[in-house]
Structure 1
């Protein structure tokens, strides 16, 4: 009797939730496209779907989405439609490189938009005023063009070469200290924290134009780490925001607290650069080692298509947060995977070291101009990105009435790690998609060149400076993946780091 009562209550509650959610969403499917066929997928569950989803989300902070999609693709094919409610926007996932090329590149303009942001997405992006979240249109073009021209242009990148050297020196010194000076009895070092801090120092300097004190950098890093560590759990708040904000009051409060701390931390740094820019222009010169930073470009930026207005402080905070997150964790994660494979395959490490020695003098550091003469280094980096991309999904694209989530885990990642495989691979996906660690098409990551430069520069110098060995003789490196903000090593890399002998 109690079981029947439970089922009746559950069904009644689910029906009520369905009606409530439908009234809150208020997004009926357009008449003109309602009859268009969608790719196959599981049927939407208009009655038990909302209850099932919300109860599971109430108990767990995240799902293994990749595992779910693998099963659906085995059942329905390489393109799958998911739709929780019959009245909600469908999500289409693509797990085939030919279909992905057709959608992202061949018909890129039709799928270059972003779906509307709800809940945390709207809060953290200042209502979609960041490069990743902005709808395809004039605002997105202005933001992306600014980043490409004012920070990622080769002349601007060269101006930040001293910053990369400084970050590398920090990393080498930190690793040397952690390993107790090297030698046969060198202690094994967990390297990921050192990788992350060095990359974060570099990105903070490029973003705010100042070498901040270590304590201040660590406070900013802790704030951004707090955001990224809660990123998956916050995504629940985007599902029926008016309801989930009530169900997950603690998460919503945490989200708003992080955003408040971001503004309190970043706005004084933005104001300082704004004042510094005025001072430099009064002098009509760039004195005292002044280097134009990302924040400087955002302070100067005007959006012609939006009445020529300046960006608000909140929008600049969102863009700075996006820059720091996108440029730190993805690069540090890829660097760890590459170094793990070099520990696992000492013959590849030896071959790479020999190439570096042929190009660079014995006691000299690898310079950025040296990288162009190291084809094997480039192949090692590309193979690392092919086998272990920092993310297994690209951000969702929108087109027409649907939402298209491009999956990349089913193509390009098969087989063992083999450095030579990366030679000559086009990772932009212009002609065909063989791998897409940076996405493809009109929404391809604008920082791809910067990421490759950082990976090549740091890998080359770390291999030149140190010999990388397993934590203990005969110990295998655990290559199991774990999903966080990026796809990280479940067991962080531990390695013995021995300084190279100078002869």
Structure 2
């Protein structure tokens, strides 16, 4: 159950939080003895910002609150990194897609550009199509948070009784052969306009117009960071392809088998041979 999972996380995280707090206090104590602020040029860990945070009622965060904030961070980073690995795995497996993406990036930023910037992304329709296809074919979460119905309801000829728990099969939505042509194939062009100009189709991933897939959920309970996740995925994919050529390791093939962990990860993590494009 979710309660048991929460308690398990507390047992793991609370000792780590307390250990970090103790180390931080010792660091500040030594800094006072040496008459400096103890910060130096160190990168500040995320947990330190939570330990230092003062609430409006002039108190520190409680351990439960720190764990909740950690869960927000973990939920965002784990799902995004999982989606990124799946996308890059398909770009390694299908080099023709990778080269088409590279050509688009070059046409937008120019040959001598050091990196792809955020403002460049909106002009890269194929990049967005690659990311959308990655989320359709390999959604990091195969389920969203469960819901319950308030009263008896009829749906598709079935009776859904009051208080029944409802789960949405996110992956199966994106693999529905009645909606998607060749649903198990990785075809980013399905998200481009059919006119042949290469423009983005304006696909609505939020589900406000229609629901063909829902990697972030839909409606009022949609992932609040879906926009940020799309930005991160487009930015990282663009720069990884712009800077490096990705190939399969000699004698190996990319294995797209799945394994259920916190998210749906690659059973055999991606191994690739990369070389600088510069």
Correspondence list, 1:139-154, <5 A? none
Could you say if the C-alpha distance between residues 327 and 490 of structure 1 is closer, same or farther in structure 2, counting changes exceeding 3 Å? Answer: same
Shift of 1:398: 3.5
1:417 maps onto 2:171 in alignment = no
CA contact (8 A) 1:266 1:317 kept: no
- Which segments of 5 or more consecutive residues in structure 1 lack a partner in the other structure? 1-115, 124-233, 235-254, 272-292, 303-307
In structure 2, the partner of 1:257 is 11
Shift of 1:315: 3.8
Shift of 1:405: 2.2
Shift of 1:417: 0.6
Could you say if the C-alpha distance between residues 269 and 418 of structure 1 is closer, same or farther in structure 2, counting changes exceeding 3 Å? Answer: farther
Correspondence list, 1:35-74, <5 A? none
In structure 2, the partner of 1:466 is 244
Shift of 1:267: 5.3
- Which segments of 5 or more consecutive residues in structure 2 lack a partner in the other structure? 26-45, 151-162, 176-182, 193-201
1:366 maps onto 2:116 in alignment = yes
**Using the alignment, how far apart are the partners of 2:165 and 2:22 within structure 1?**
38
TM-score, L = length of structure 2: 0.73
Shift of 1:300: 6.1
TM-score, L = length of structure 1: 0.42
Shift of 1:395: 1.4
**Using the alignment, how far apart are the partners of 1:339 and 1:432 within structure 2?**
28
Shift of 1:422: 2.9
Q: Deviations over 1:80-115 (max 9, x none)?
A: xxxxxxxxxxxxxxxxxxxxxxxxxxxxxxxxxxxx
Could you say if the C-alpha distance between residues 359 and 497 of structure 1 is closer, same or farther in structure 2, counting changes exceeding 3 Å? Answer: same
**Using the alignment, how far apart are the partners of 1:270 and 1:394 within structure 2?**
37
1:494 maps onto 2:274 in alignment = no
**Using the alignment, how far apart are the partners of 1:347 and 1:483 within structure 2?**
29
Which structure has greater helix proportion?
A: 1
CA contact (8 A) 1:330 1:390 kept: yes
Instruction: Give the length in aligned residue pairs.
Output: 229
Higher relative contact order (CA 8 A, sep 6+): 1
Q: Which moved more, 1:349-358 or 1:322-331?
A: 322-331
1:119 maps onto 2:4 in alignment = yes
- Cα-Cα RMSD: 3.0
CA contact (8 A) 2:131 2:234 kept: yes
Q: Deviations over 1:297-320 (max 9, x none)?
A: x94666xxxxx8978422431233
Larger Rg: 1
In structure 2, the partner of 1:432 is 210
1:478 maps onto 2:258 in alignment = no
**Using the alignment, how far apart are the partners of 1:389 and 1:455 within structure 2?**
13
Shift of 1:456: 0.7
